[in-house]
Amino acid sequence: VEYEVKRTLIQFLGQVSGKDGQQNSSLVWKQDSDPCKGTWQGVHCDAQNMSIKKLLLDNLNFSGTLDLAMLCNLQPLAASLTYLSLDGNKISGGMASEVGNCKQLTRLHLSGNQLAGDLPSSLAMLSSLKRLDISNNQFSGSLPDLYRISGLNMFLAQNNYLGGTIPAFEFSNFDQFNVSFNNFRGHIPNVHGYFSADSFLGNPELCGDPLPKNCSDKPMPLSEAQTSEKSKGASKEQILMYSGYAALGVIIVLFVVLKLCRRKKGENKVEALNNMVGASGGGGGVEKPRNVSSEYKNEVSRSEFSVPSESGMVSQSLVVLSSQTAMELRLEDLLGAPAELIGRGKNGSLYKVMLDNGIMVVVKRIKDWTISSHDFKQRMRILSQAKHPHVLPPLAFYSSKQDKLLVYEYQQNGSLFKLLHGTTKALDWTSRLGIAATIAEALAFLHQEVGHHGIGHGNLKSCNILLNKNMEACISECGIMDMDDQRGSAFGTSSTDGGALDMLKGDVYGFGVIVLELLTGKLVKGNGIDLTDWVQSVVREEWTGEVFDKSLLSEYASEERMVNLLQVAIRCVNPSPQVRPTMNQVALMINTIKEEDEKSLIYEV
Ligand SMILES: Nc1ncnc2c1ncn2[C@@H]1O[C@H](COP(=O)(O)OP(=O)(O)OP(=O)(O)O)[C@@H](O)[C@H]1O
C-alpha cells in the first residue's frame, strides 16, 4: 500500500478518533506496517491488488471530527474504498462535499454520531451507493437528489433535523427506508404499500398515506402563510374569502359559546381541551387551516390549533407516534372533543377525552416543563420505541414552549391505587404477587431500553399503574418527569447526585413502595404516617407479621413468600440509592418467589 495512502489513513484516524493526532489506543495503525497484512484493525483490503476496500470503525468511542475530504481527495483511496462505517461513535463535523469523489462507495454508515449540517448534493453522485445510514445524527437541510441513485436499497435518516419535502423515491427498490423524526413536510410520495407509517412518523408537517394525517387537513405553516401573503398581497377573492371566514367565525364563536355553556351544566367538571391549550397559545401565532371539515373544528383550530414553537416561526401540531392505532388523531379533534378533567397532580392535569370516533383517550397536560422541544421530541421518540405489553406508550404528543400534551389510551379499569384502596373487593395474594412481578419486569425492560438515554419512569406510584382490559398491570406516564423535578427525599435520592443512575434508583424506590402497598394494603401516607418508615420500624421490632394486610393472612397465603417479597421491597427502599438493587435483579428475585408460589399451588392441588 502506497505511503501516501497509509499516511492519509493514519491522519484520518487521528482526526476522527479525537485523540489529537495520536492513535486510538485500541487501534494500532503504523506507518511502518502494512494495512493489508492484517495488522490494521478495521481496515479490509482487496487481496489481489492490495488496495483499501473497507474501513469499519463502529462503536469505538471516537469523539473527533469527520474529514471525508481527506479520504476522498486522495485518488488511490477514493478509487478503491467501497465501505465506510463509523456507526455508534460520537463523531462531530459534517459531510464534506468531497464525499462525491469516493465514487466506489456502496455503503456509507454514519449512524449514531453527532454529525450536523447539510447533506452535500454530491452525495447523489455516488452512483454505486446501495446502503446509506445517516440516522441518529443532527443533519439538517433538505435531501439531495438521492432518488437518482438507482441501486440505493437502504436509506436510514431517522432522528435528524432534515427538512423540505421527501422526493419521489422508487420505494420498490428499498428494503429499508426511514425518515421518521425529522422536520420533513408536505405530501409523502406514493410508497405503494412498501413502507408503513413507522418510516415517516414524527414529522409534524408531513401528511398523506401511510400516515394517518390527511394532507387536506394540514394547517398552513405560519411562516408560509405570512410570506405568501406578503409577497402576493391580498387578492379580491382572498378579501371576500376572509370576510366570509370572519362572518362564519362570529357565528361559530356564538355556537361554541352556547355549546360550552350547555356542557357546563351538571356536576361533572367538564372542560374543553381547547381552553387549556388556549392558555398556552396566548402568545399569538394564529394560523388558518386550509380545509377543516366541520364548522366547529374550524373555529377551534383557527383559534387554538397553532401555537408557535420556540422559534416562533414554525407551526406545531400533534405528532402521532403509534401507527397501530387506527384513529386519525389530529390536534383539532382533541381540542374539539369534550374533555373531562380527571386529575390535577404536581406534574400537570389529566383530561379524559372522547373523540368523535368514539375512542376514549386521556391527555396529560404538563405545564412549564423546562425541557426543550427538541429534547422532548427525542424523549417521546425513544419512549414510543420501547414497546412492552405492560408499558403504556404515548399515542401522540404536542409540544409548545409552555405546554406539553401527551395522549394515552384510556384504561377503563382504573389504577392499582384504586384497586388497593378503593371500595372494591380486596385483591388476593396470587394477584398481588402477579402484579408485583409484572411491574418489575416491565420496569426492568424500560430501564434497559431507555435508561442509557437518561430516561426512567420518574414518578412511579400506584396511580400510575393502570389495569388494562384484561386486568393486567401496565406502567403509565413513563419518562415525563425529570430528576430535578422528582421528590428527591421521598425517592431517597440526593438532588446533588443527579444523573441517569439516580433516576433509575428513584424508580427502584418507587417500585419498593408499591410492593409495600401491595403487602400491607395501606396508603403511602395514611394518617400522616409514612408507609416506608412504618414498615421499617415494625420489621426492626421483629413484628414482621404485623405488616401484612389482614385479608392476606386470613387467606392462608404463604407467609414465608410474603416475607421474601417484603425483603425485596425493603431492599428497594433503602435510603442509600447505591445499595438498592437494579430493576433487573428485583425482577429476577420476584420471579423466583412467584415460581415457588406457583409450584406450591400445583403441589396443593
Ligand atoms: N390512561 C389512563 N386511563 C385511565 N385512567 C388514567 C389514565 N392515566 C391516568 N389515569 C388516572 O387518572 C387519575 C389522575 O391522573 P394524574 O396523572 O393526573 O394523577 P397523578 O399521577 O397523581 O398526577 P402526577 O402524575 O402529576 O403526579 C389517576 O387516578 C390515574 O390513575
Q: What is the pLDDT of residue 251?
A: 65
According to the model, what pLDDT value does residue 297 have? Answer: 29
Look up residue 453 and give its amino acid. Answer: H
Residue 24's pLDDT band (boundaries 50, 70, 90)?
Answer: low
**In a mutational test of the pocket of ligand 1, which residue from 322, 340, 342 has the highest number of ligand atoms less than 8 Å from its CB?**
342
Q: Please tell me if the CB atom of residue 490 comes closer than 6 angstroms to any atom of ligand 1.
A: no
Residue 562 has pLDDT above 50, yes or no: yes
The rounded percent of the chain whose pLDDT value lies above 90 is 41
User: What CA–CA distance (Å, rounded) separates 249 from 259?
Assistant: 15
Quote the pLDDT of residue 122: 95
Q: Among 64-78, 108-122, 248-262, 471-485, which is the least confidently predicted range?
A: 248-262
Mean pLDDT of the chain, nearest integer: 79
As beta bridge partners, residue 272 has 338
- Give me the pLDDT at residue 283, please: 31
Annotated binding site: which residue ranges?
A: 364
The protein residue with its alpha carbon nearest to ligand 1, atom 14, reads: 343
In the numeric block, the cell 454520531 is attached to 113
The length of the chain is: 605
CB 491 within 8 A of CB 510: yes
Write the ipTM: 0.97
Mean pLDDT to the nearest integer, 50-65: 91
In this structure, which residue's CA is closest to atom 30 in ligand 1?
A: 463
317 pLDDT more than 60: yes
Ligand 1 centroid distance, CA of 213 (Å): 28
**Model confidence band, residue 602 (pLDDT cutoffs 50, 70, 90):** low
Q: What is the DSSP letter of 600?
A: H
Handedness of CA 430, 431, 436, 438 (dihedral sign): positive
Whose Cα sits closest to atom 15 in ligand 1?
343
Ligand 1 atom 28, closest CA: 463
Determine if ligand 1 sits within 6 Å of the CB of residue 217. Answer: no
pLDDT number for residue 244 = 57
- What residues have CB less than 8 Å from 122, skipping those under 6 apart? 97, 98, 99, 100, 101, 144
| Dist CA 521 CA 470 (whole Å) | 22
Tell which atom from ligand 1 comes closest to the C-alpha of 410. Answer: 3
User: Is 165's pLDDT higher than 60?
Assistant: yes
What integer pLDDT is reported at residue 241 of this predicted model? Answer: 54
What gap in Å lies between CA 506 and CA 272, rounded to an integer?
A: 35
What's the average model confidence in pLDDT over 264-292?
36
User: In which element (H, E) is residue 75 found?
Assistant: helix 75-78
The predicted structure's pLDDT at residue 529: 84
User: Cell numbers of 515, please?
Assistant: 410492593
Q: Which atom of ligand 1 lies closest to the CA of 415? A: 31
Ligand 1: residue whose CA is nearest its atom 22: 345
> Ligand 1 in contact with 413 (CB < 6 A)?
no
Q: How confident is the model at residue 555 (pLDDT cuts 50, 70, 90)?
A: low
pLDDT tens by residue, 494-547: 444 456 677 899 999 999 999 999 999 999 987 778 999 999 999 888 888 889
pLDDT reading at 264 higher than 50: no
Pocket perturbation via mutation, ligand 1, pick of 353, 359, 415 by most ligand atoms within 8 A of CB: 415
Pocket flag, ligand 1, residue 410 (CB < 6 Å): yes
Q: Whose CA is nearest to atom 23 of ligand 1?
A: 345
Tell me, in angstroms, the distance from the centre of ligand 1 to residue 468's CA. Answer: 14
Q: Is 36 in the pocket of ligand 1 (CB under 6 A)?
A: no
Kindly state the cell numbers that stand for 346: 404536581
pLDDT in the model for residue 593:
95
- List, in sequence order, the alpha helices (H) in 265-362: 273-280, 295-300, 331-336
- pLDDT band, very low/low/confident/very high, at 26 (cuts 50, 70, 90): low
Check pocket membership of 345 for ligand 1, CB cut-off 6 A.
yes
- Residue holding cell 401522540? 396
Region of 141 (left: φ > 0; alpha: ψ -120 to 50; beta: rest) is: left
**How far away, in angstroms, is 474 Cα from ligand 1 center?**
12
* Residues 6+ away with beta carbon under 8 Å from 62: 16, 17, 18, 24, 86, 89, 90, 91
CA distance linking residue 41 with residue 10, whole number of Å: 12
